[in-house]
Amino acid sequence: MSDAALPTVAEVRAAAEAVKAALDRHLAAVERRIGDEDPDVYAAFNELAAAAEEYDELLYDRYDEVTPFEIPTPEDGVPYTGPAEPAAFSVLIRRDYAVVEPARLIAQAERVAAHDRDAEFVHDGGTADALGVLFGEYEPDEIASRFKDFGLEEGDSTLWIAASEEMAEPGEWLGSPFGHIDPQDVLHRFDVSSVFDEEADDFDEADGDGDRDGESESEDGESEGRAAEQGLTPA
C-alpha cells in the first residue's frame, strides 16, 4: 500500500476514540439491561464490534499492528436484536436435494398425474414438471421423509425462526417472501449438514489417538457427535 493510501494518524486516533465510546455505551447498556435478551445490549454489542473492527483495520494499515480483539464473523452467528417478546414469527426452511434418479422422479410424478386431473405436466414432462407435480401433491415434510422414493439425495438444510413485532398484512411479502428477514431477528436456527458428521468423525479420531488402547471413546465425545448429526445450532 502506498503512503498516499495509508490511513492518517488522525483517522486511527478517531477510530480508537470510537472504540472507547462504544465500550462505555456497551457497559451502560449491560448495567441497565432487562432480561437475558435485552435488545439494547445486543445493539451496543454490535456497535462495539463494528468500532473494534474498524480500529483494527486502520491500525494494521497504518502501523502494521493488530489488536487482541476477536471480531465476530457471520460464521460465529449473528446476535439477536429483535423484540424481547415477539408478537409474531416466521418460519423459513431451506432443504437442498440432488436429482440422482431423474427417471424415478418423473415416474412418481406420472403416477400422481394419472390419478389427479389437476396434476398436469405443462412443459416437456421432464424433471422440472415432475417437481411441480410432486410438490403440488405431497407436503414438503413427506418428500423429505421419502426422498429416496423420489430419486433424490439430501443435501444441507436449515430452519430459521424469525421474530417480529406484528403479523404481516395479507399479501405484504408475497413479492419477495425471503427478502424481508433480517438475520438479527432470527430467534432460533437449526442446521443439518453432512459436514457435522465429518467434524464428529475428526473429533472421534483425535480422541482415539489420545487413548492408550485407541478403542475407548469419552461420553462427551459421543454427545457432541449426536448434537452435530441433529444439526442443532442456536443463532
Report pLDDT digits (tens) over 68-122: 876 555 445 667 777 878 899 999 999 999 999 999 999 999 898 888 766 666 6
For residue 46, tell me if it sits in a domain: yes
Q: For 32-159, where are the alpha helices, taking DSSP H only?
A: 39-63, 102-115, 127-137, 140-145
Cα dihedral value 178, 184, 186, 188, nearest 10:
150
Contact present, 129 and 182 (Cβ < 8 Å)? no
For residue 172, tell me if it sits in a domain: no
Give the per-residue pLDDT at 217.
39
Which domain, by its residues, includes 137?
A: 101-150
Sequence-separated (6 or more) residues with CB below 8 Å from residue 6: 61, 62
Number of domains in the chain: 2
For residue 125, tell me if it sits in a domain: yes
Q: Which three cell numbers stand for residue 26?
A: 456497551
d(CA 97, CA 147) in angstroms, rounded, equals 8
**What is the pLDDT averaged over residues 192-204?**
71
Q: Which three cell numbers stand for residue 50?
A: 463494528
Question: What pTM value is reported for the model?
Answer: 0.53
DSSP letter, residue 78: P
Whether residue 68 sits in one domain with residue 21 = yes
Distance separating the N- and C-terminal Cα atoms of the chain: 38
Instruction: Identify which of 4-8, 21-25, 215-219 has the greatest average pLDDT.
Output: 21-25
